[in-house]
């Protein structure tokens, strides 16, 4: 049952709830900045959670997608640094698609632009610091001493006379403590984990052993798979399509046109993919029909040359700069190959839709799955996965 702090405004930072098992759950959001999307300001729910269970387990929700950049370690580090807990004992869970997990720097639940740590830098540290302060206050109240006489370290609060209590022992009482309004953060000179070059990634072993779970690894009973054909041109749409050959393939359950293309639903992904390749689609390229990568880059190059020609005070291209620009262009084009496969689980059992996503934009992608479910009404009482 949630125990919200009463009479607080949207500008107040923290919410607290006691977990069913008697633990402590803390969530944090920061008030919007002048360049942050409205969505970040219109919800009072937290977009990052710290949970402390009675068994002393600390769980941190990570609201960014793990794509090799190691948010699985960097996000927990921010909380653990201020919470004063052993990082190796922290559990990590990925946050589900929801507006409350919006990246304030990008205006959506997005992962990209090297914004994960920048967006989380203050709010996750404040979440950890607030949790620590509340645990210390709970211990001080229990021992009838001043909080200044207590100290939190390594998942334990110590007090005068050798008094000691673990975070798990204090979690339930901390849930009833008033949320601190002033949350001072450590100066960088006191960092123990942040910036520690000896700190190892938390997910290396799982990735090496192949036990790390990604969105594409999700399985549910009776699930179907979908392979999607999308317009090769941004902004394009389906003009017409012939699905007769695709429907004749083994395992195919349905062929469904949706807002961005055509999806083939089958018993396995390979069956769906092979059938998708047999679709004969006529695309309407839309306003970008005559654009291609070459023309776009030529336009950018011409614009930059014109800028230099019209502004004589700007320096000319230095030696080697043109080749460097070409290398950067090539890298930009190749970036798309490093993106993860988009996965969304759609559950139609009992006319209910549940979504799981591990993608750069899980909130939007799951929303798309909800929007398109009605177009796939012919596939009844099944669970599907879109790839």
Give me the pLDDT at residue 190, please: 94
Q: Are 266 and 259 in contact (CB under 8 A)?
A: no
Q: Are 113 and 64 in contact (CB under 8 A)?
A: no
Give me the pLDDT at residue 97, please: 76
Give me the pLDDT at residue 276, please: 97
Round the average pLDDT of the chain to a whole number and report it.
Answer: 75
Q: Are 2 and 17 in contact (CB under 8 A)?
A: yes
- The three-point CA angle 169-131-103 to 5° equals 135
Strands ordered across the beta sheet of 58-62? 14-18, 24-28, 49-52, 58-62, 90-94
Identify the H or E element spanning 264: strand 261-266
Confidence grade of residue 85 (pLDDT, cut at 50, 70, 90): very high
DSSP 340: P
Q: Where are the domains of the chain?
A: 14-208, 213-387
Give me the pLDDT at residue 219, please: 84
Give me the pLDDT at residue 19, please: 40
Three-class DSSP category at 265: strand
Give me the pLDDT at residue 323, please: 64
Candidate CATH numbers 3.60.15.10, 3.20.20.70, 3.90.1170.50, 3.40.50.300; the one for domain 213-387: 3.90.1170.50
Q: Inform me whether the pLDDT recorded for 370 exceeds 60.
A: no
pLDDT in tens, 45-84: 222 478 888 888 888 888 888 888 888 899 999 999 999 9
pLDDT in tens, 200-215: 888 888 889 988 887 7
Residue in the block written with tokens 């633990």: 23
Distance of CA 142 to the CA centre of its chain: 38
The CATH classification number of 14-208 equals 3.30.365.10
Interval 267-282 mean pLDDT: 96
pLDDT in tens, 214-245: 777 888 888 999 999 999 888 899 999 999 99
């Amino acid at each position: 049952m949630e125990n919200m702090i009463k009479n607080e405004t949207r500008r107040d930072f923290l919410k607290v709830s006691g977990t069913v098992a008697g633990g402590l759950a803390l969530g944090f959001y920061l008030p919007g900045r002048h360049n942050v999307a409205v969505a970040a300001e219109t919800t009072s729910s937290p977009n990052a959670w710290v949970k402390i269970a009675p068994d002393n387990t600390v769980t941190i929700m990570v609201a960014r997608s793990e794509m090799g950049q190691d948010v699985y370690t960097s996000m927990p580090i921010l909380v653990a640094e201020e919470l004063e807990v052993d990082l190796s004992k922290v559990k990590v869970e990925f946050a589900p698609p929801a507006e409350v997990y919006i990246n304030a720097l990008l205006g959506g639940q997005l992962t990209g632009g090297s914004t994960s740590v920048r967006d989380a830098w203050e709010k996750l540290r404040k979440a950890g610091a607030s949790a620590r302060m509340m645990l210390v206050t709970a211990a001080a109240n229990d021992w009838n001493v001043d909080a200044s006489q207590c100290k939190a370290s390594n998942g334990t609060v110590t007090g005068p006379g050798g008094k000691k209590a673990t975070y798990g022992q204090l979690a339930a009482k901390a849930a009833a403590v008033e949320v601190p309004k002033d949350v001072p953060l450590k100066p960088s000179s006191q960092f123990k984990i942040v910036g520690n070059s000896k700190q190892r990634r938390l997910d290396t072993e799982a990735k090496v052993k192949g036990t790390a779970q990604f969105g594409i690894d999700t399985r549910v009973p009776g699930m179907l798979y979908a392979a999607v054909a999308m317009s090769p041109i941004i902004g394009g749409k389906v003009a017409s399509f012939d699905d007769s050959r695709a429907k004749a393939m083994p395992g195919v359950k349905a062929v469904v046109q949706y807002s961005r293309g055509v999806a083939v639903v089958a018993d396995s992904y390979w069956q769906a993919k092979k059938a998708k390749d047999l679709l004969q689609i006529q695309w309407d390229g839309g306003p970008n029909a005559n654009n291609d990568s070459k023309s776009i880059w030529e336009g950018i190059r011409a614009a930059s040359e014109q800028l230099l020609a019209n502004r004589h005070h700007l320096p000319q291209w230095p030696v080697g700069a043109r080749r460097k620009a070409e290398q950067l262009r090539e890298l930009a084009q190749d970036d798309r190959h490093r993106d993860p496969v988009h996965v969304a689980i759609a559950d139609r059992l009992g006319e209910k839709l549940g979504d799981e996503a591990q993608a750069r934009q899980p909130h939007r992608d799951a929303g798309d799955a909800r929007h398109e479910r009605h177009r796939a009404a012919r596939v009844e009482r099944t669970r599907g996965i879109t790839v």
